[in-house]
Structure 1
Amino acid sequence: MTLDRLRPIADRALTPFVDAADAVGLSPDGVSVLAFVCALAAGGAFAIAEPVWFVAGAVLVFANGWFDLVDGALARRQGEASAGGDLLDHVLDRYADIAIIAGLAAGMGAYLLGFLAVTGVLMTSYLGTQIQAVGLGREYGGALGRADRLALVGVVGVVAAIVPGELVAGLTIVELLLVAFAIVGHLTALQRFYGAWSDL
């Protein structure tokens, strides 16, 4: 949850982008869809697994994360924050996570690692919302929040373009990232479950 703590700083930097989105008539839901399109394109770029496409994927991942911040700020600016908008944002974020991780896994041919990584990420998010559903409040605890994951994917995309070969134990940097997402994701999900179960 490192980068989530920097949200107040990011919110200040968002102002010009929110101004621009508002000026051209974009709605918060429209920005959410734009963020999702960036994630789909990033997944496709990563699946090609060539240096220039790794860099393109990294840029698109950063764009996805940035637009994901803009949509909320725009909703507050326009006074359109709603349960429907929040639902759409969360659903598109999950599909975006799947697209990005699936692209990384396909590019490496590391489908088992991709499966373990994406299930770890999805279970972390699921536990957060399920804990809220049983009346314990939204749970954001854990080592890697979504902002952290996107930042790591972006950095790894650039590094993969520079160092495409194996780094440790026969694994590329992309495969090492998938291993990290798998381990941290499932451990975070279990941590959230245990914490919530103790509070019931």
Structure 2
Amino acid sequence: MTLDRLRPLAARMLRPFVVLAVRFGLTPDAISVLAFVLAVAAAGAFYAGSAAWDVAGAVLVFLNGWLDLLDGAVARETDVDSKGGDLLDHVLDRYADVVILAGLAAGVDSWLLGFAAVTGVLLTSYLGTQIQAVGLGRQYGGLLGRADRLALVGIVGVLSSVIPVVGGFSLVAWLLGFFAVVGHLTALQRFWGAWGDLRESA
């Protein structure tokens, strides 16, 4: 289900934007910071809670995801990719995940669902990097990766402006519940896959 398998296609689509970023002298770190600023703006838009602001939040989330791909592509293009840049990118991505989900939760006044969604998302990302830390390579797979989450937030942001309530609950609340359940399942899926690989290599 993960969109991360489409990274090669995304890399080709990014090419014109990489050229423009390099031409204007944008550094990968600057792009990472800009992506985070857009995430904060998206959270504010979702918190506002109106149909128009939900659509604005969706657009900002899509831009955040696009810039998240662009910073790494620019780093590789200019041969300045570094551990420091990678660390900054990961930290800002996690904060972006938190603020976006917090904005969604605040917009529908559903803090418990927001907490469950945030923990699921953070554990999914944590397992991806922890698996890399034990020597198995960065893990992007599973039921729900970051690209999937951002795409779903963007889609729901647009749809909620037209269909705010489904089955007695807001569309955003359904999304948060989905992130909570599938996020934890993805984390466990990554754990069991890595655990099996470690046992086989022992």
Task: Report the number of matched residues.
Answer: 198
Partner of 1:167: 166
Indicate yes or no: 2:178 matched with 1:180: yes
Q: Deviations over 1:120-159 (max 9, x none)?
A: 0000111111122222322223111111110100000000
Determine the C-alpha separation between the residues in 2 that align with 1:163 and 1:127: 34
Give RMSD over aligned pairs. 1.1
Give matches, 1:19-98, under 5 Å. Answer: 19-98=19-98
Task: Work out the percentage of aligned pairs sharing the same amino acid.
Answer: 68
State the one-letter code of the partner of 1:172. S
Unaligned residue ranges in structure 2 (runs of 5+): none
Partner of 1:14: 14
Determine the C-alpha separation between the residues in 1 that align with 2:4 and 2:26: 25
Determine the C-alpha separation between the residues in 2 that align with 1:26 and 1:158: 30
Q: Deviations over 1:158-177 (max 9, x none)?
A: 0011112x202x21110100
Determine the C-alpha separation between the residues in 1 that align with 2:135 and 2:10: 30
Determine the C-alpha separation between the residues in 2 that align with 1:134 and 1:95: 24
Partner of 1:132: 132
Determine the C-alpha separation between the residues in 2 that align with 1:188 and 1:80: 32
Counterpart secondary structure, 1:162: coil
Unaligned residue ranges in structure 1 (runs of 5+): none
Determine the C-alpha separation between the residues in 1 that align with 2:72 and 2:146: 15
TM-score w.r.t. the length of structure 1 is 0.95
Match of 1:195 among 180, 190, 193: 193
Determine the C-alpha separation between the residues in 2 that align with 1:119 and 1:52: 28
TM-score w.r.t. the length of structure 2 is 0.94
Compare 187-196 and 111-120 and name the one that shifted more.
Answer: 187-196
Q: Deviations over 1:17-56 (max 9, x none)?
A: 1111111111000001111111010001001110110000
Indicate yes or no: 2:102 matched with 1:121: no
